[in-house]
A and B are shown apart, each in its own frame.
Chain A
Amino acid sequence: MRDENTNENAVPPRWTRRQFLGTLGGAAVAAPGFSIAQPAARPNSPKTVAIIATKVAKYSHAQHFIDRFLEGYGWQGKHHRPSLRLASLYVDQFPENDLARERSKRHNVPIYPSIAEALTRGGSKLAVDGVIIIAEHGDYPKNEKGQKLYPRYRFFKETVKVFEDSGRAVPVFNDKHLSTDWRECVEMVEDSRRLNFAFLAGSSLPVTWRIPSIELPLETELEHSVGVCYGGVDSYDFHGYETAQCMSERRAGGEAGVKALQALKGDELWTRVERDKPLAELFFGALARSHSLKSPPGYSVWKPSIPWIRKCSPDATGFFIEHLDGFRTTQFLLNGYVRDFTYAGRKQNGEILSCQMQLPMPPSNTTLADFFNPLVNNIEQTILTGRATYPVERTLLTSGITIAGVDSLHAGQKELETPHLSVAYRPAETSTYWRA
Chain B
Amino acid sequence: MLLMKKVFFFSLLLLTGIAANAQSEKYVKSMEKLIQAMDTTWNTDRLVELSNSFERIADAEKTQWLPYYYAALARVNAGYALGKNNAAEQTDPYANKAEELINKADALEANNSEIYVVKKLINTLKLIGDVMGRYMTAGAASAEALAKAKSLNPENPRVYLQEGIDKMNTPPQFGGSVEEGKKILEKSLEKFKAFKPASSIHPQWGESVAQRFLSR
Q: Do A and B come from one complex?
A: no
Chain A contacts to B: CB under 8 angstroms: none
Binding site for A on B (CB under 8 A): none
